[in-house]
Structure 1
Amino acid sequence: MLLVLLLIGFVLPTTSDAQIFEDAKEFFTFYPNAKAVEKDSTLYPSKFIAAPVISFSPETDFAFGIGAKYLFKFAGSGEETRVSNMPITFQYTLNNQYFLYSGFEIFTNQEKFVITGNILFQNYPRLYYGIGRNTEESAEEVYEYNQLLVEPIFLKQMFHRYLFLGGGLRYNHIYETKVEEDGLIAQNMRDGFDGSTSVGLEVAALYDDRDVILNASEGWYVEFTHGEYGEFLGGTNKFHLTRLDVRHFFKVSEKNDDVLAFQFLGRTVRDDLPFSEYSFFGSSEIMRGYREGRFVDRDLVAAQMEFRKNFKNTRLGAVAFVGTGSVFNNIADFQFGALKPNYGFGVRYKIDKTENLNLRLDWGFGRGTNEIYLGIAEAF
């Protein structure tokens, strides 16, 4: 089970304790444009909120790093423009492994354009159990690799205030792989197990009318991408990758701002996909309770529901979540009886009231497994 410790405590909302927390939060908060805001009060005060993180897992040993959020608006943006969000995570382990990640959503002035995407650079192990939804826990082995993933998507506001259309490029390079001798990967030698480069052009559509990006209480988020991958720009495989992410949020209690949140996630890959492009089941965002990659196949569907309870006049909150999902080789193989359950609960501590930004600690349970997750901002 993954153990994650963050060097920030939960405190009672007394006046003195609240001030202690504010002082501690300010120590980890930086304001890149503070001088410019002093001269021009119409500018949004950008924030870089960081916190030290220590984690441990059997495959990595102890890891040390920083989790952070960069929140900003471009000059000239007012209340009509939502806050841009760039999370940044960096960790380094005692096994000389590293992990650097940023998933971003950037709004230009008046939200005429949106730039979303991911940047990932890592040398990190992945646990592998075989292909399919019925693999055994006893088949576990470690697959190590280096990865560089860059995926910028550029979208333009079109036809509707919250509808954005566009496209982008996805580059996923896997190299310097290491597999266990006589293990499943070495025996099967699936295409790309010893490295691959995926290069694809994507078309994308986004509908996003959430009230707050980091912790929405109302609105819809619907993202669709379809990529055609080929042997241009160094690509090693030809295949198609389609993804759909649908989320909905609404308040169930105006008094305490309690929220009910839903998400559906679908991913399908066709043709000559390399090993790195299979769909991996489980993560800190969806199907919490399963290690990422516990089940692997070409296609994935998953759904979750989360109740978010806020305690009035405090920074504390709590969540309860339940979900289900599975992987399969083809849509014809989908069976409701094969869906795997997950459920769990968590606590929240609001580290920034202005941005409604929470520190989250979740304990997720799957079928015969459980995991602990800690991070900044909600799972979805």
Structure 2
Amino acid sequence: MSAQTVDEIKEFFTFYPNKKAAERDSTLYKQKFIAAPVFTYSPETNFAFGTGAKYLFKFNGSGEETRVSNMPMTLQYTLNNQFFLYSGFEVFTNQEKWVIEGNLLFQNYPRLYYGLGSNTPKSAEEQYDYYQFLVEPIFLKQMFHKYLFIGAGFRYNHIFKTKIDPDGLIAQNQPNGFDGSTSVGVEVATLYDSRSSLLNAQDGWYFEFTHGKYGKVLGGTNEFNLTRLDLRHYYEVSKKNIDVLAFQFYAQFSRGDLPFSEYSFFGGSEIMRGYQEGRYVDRDLLAIQTEYRKNFNNSRWGVVGFLGTGDVYNNVSEFQFKNLKPNYGVGARFNLDKVENLNLRFDVGFGEGTNGFYFGIAEAF
């Protein structure tokens, strides 16, 4: 497929909400709304079909000093009889004085369960079904430094219409919240983000810290604390080919009367690829991964190699190097939009006695 054909297909699915205004005023960012049929694959969902959309924009009055805001939306149905509506957004106001980020999710998501802990056997596998509605907006103000933002938000996570095997492991163990739960909490957050691009970073640092306190005052069913850390660094290895070495460290810690839905789920399409999401489950999680992204001059194609390790713990103080679980894999990339540097992604990941392949849009991290 020629580059011209790819661009023509992309343009067919692209709308420009402020096209006329941008043509009259060259200082305005030409907003893009890209909507198209999409299909993806991961071990958790099997093949998924639906509609994907990305709204890329800047507020009027924003120049080169303001990065492009990203508001994606995905609506899909999977061959595992799942459906999900999801948006993970990051919006910059003029001159990046504020950042508004967060998640919105509604899904019916059958999940596989193996028990709690880092040594659960594959033979224990069973399926349970539930509906989930999650909303998490966070508002952060630029403070002290160009790329440093501090703020707060709230998180609401409702699990309902659960279905389990009456003779299965969940029915026997009855983990807290197995029959549904509602988590309502206030979060404080710190964000440092010096990436030049949100969709496919080639340089810079990203660090996000959130700490939430959850209770029953606003209708929650459990009282607990939840802390998350996400540290990433991107290093441009070769300016000639725009090769990138990417690194991520992710951690999640929780304490208190924790419902099952708020436990740490090991594996997935973004970190610890090769393990099914939720293959191992416990209160705390530590994971690290690195990825080399090779790009080719005058080509839309690229390849990646990645490796990582991690584990889950009832308490992170149990950490031991010898118990870390490895993962590694390779992938291919195809550049859909050279202006926004948006890639189509295909990865094959391997873990301890397990593997999986992943097909989707945008990088894993």
Does TM, scored on the shorter chain, surpass 0.5?
yes
Aligned-pair distance for 1:214? 1.1
Aligned to 2:31: 46
CA contact (8 A) 1:67 1:376 kept: no
Distance 2:41 2:199 in 1: 26
Quote the sequence identity (%).
72
Specify the code of the residue in structure 2 equivalent to 1:28.
F
Distance 2:79 2:337 in 1: 32
Aligned to 2:100: 115
CA contact (8 A) 1:198 1:235 kept: yes
Pairs aligned (count): 365
1:41-80 alignment to 2 at 5 Å? Answer: 41-54=26-39, 63-80=48-65
Q: Deviations over 1:271-315 (max 9, x none)?
A: 100010000001111101111101000000000000000100111
SS of structure 2 residue aligned to 1:24: helix
SS of structure 1 residue aligned to 2:112: strand
Aligned-pair distance for 1:59? 7.8
Distance 1:89 1:282 in 2: 21
Distance 1:61 1:43 in 2: 41
Aligned-pair distance for 1:63? 3.7
1:296-315 alignment to 2 at 5 Å? Answer: 296-315=281-300
CA contact (8 A) 1:69 1:376 kept: no
Specify the code of the residue in structure 1 equivalent to 2:54.
K
Distance 1:103 1:54 in 2: 18
Aligned-pair distance for 1:60? 6.0
TM-score (structure 1 length as normaliser): 0.93
Could you list the structure 1 runs, at least 4 aligned residues long, displaced by more than 3 angstroms after superposition. Answer: 54-63, 93-97
Which of 241, 244, 251 is the matching residue for 1:266? 251
Specify the code of the residue in structure 2 equivalent to 1:52.
P
Specify the code of the residue in structure 1 equivalent to 2:355.
N
Is 1:158 aligned to residue 132 of structure 2? no
Q: Deviations over 1:143-199 (max 9, x none)?
A: 100000000000000001110000100000000000112111111111111000000
Aligned to 1:169: 154
1:115-264 alignment to 2 at 5 Å? Answer: 115-264=100-249
Would the alpha carbon gap of residues 343 and 94 (structure 1) be closer, same or farther in structure 2, given more than 3 Å must change?
closer
Aligned-pair distance for 1:353? 0.9
Aligned-pair distance for 1:96? 5.3
CA contact (8 A) 2:44 2:277 kept: no
Specify the code of the residue in structure 2 equivalent to 1:343.
Y
Cα-Cα RMSD: 1.6
Would the alpha carbon gap of residues 376 and 303 (structure 1) be closer, same or farther in structure 2, given more than 3 Å must change?
same
CA contact (8 A) 2:306 2:328 kept: yes
**Uncovered stretches (5+) of structure 1, i.e. residues with no partner:** 1-10, 12-16
TM-score (structure 2 length as normaliser): 0.96
Aligned to 1:317: 302
Would the alpha carbon gap of residues 263 and 65 (structure 1) be closer, same or farther in structure 2, given more than 3 Å must change?
same
CA contact (8 A) 2:35 2:54 kept: yes
Aligned-pair distance for 1:54? 3.5
**Uncovered stretches (5+) of structure 2, i.e. residues with no partner:** none
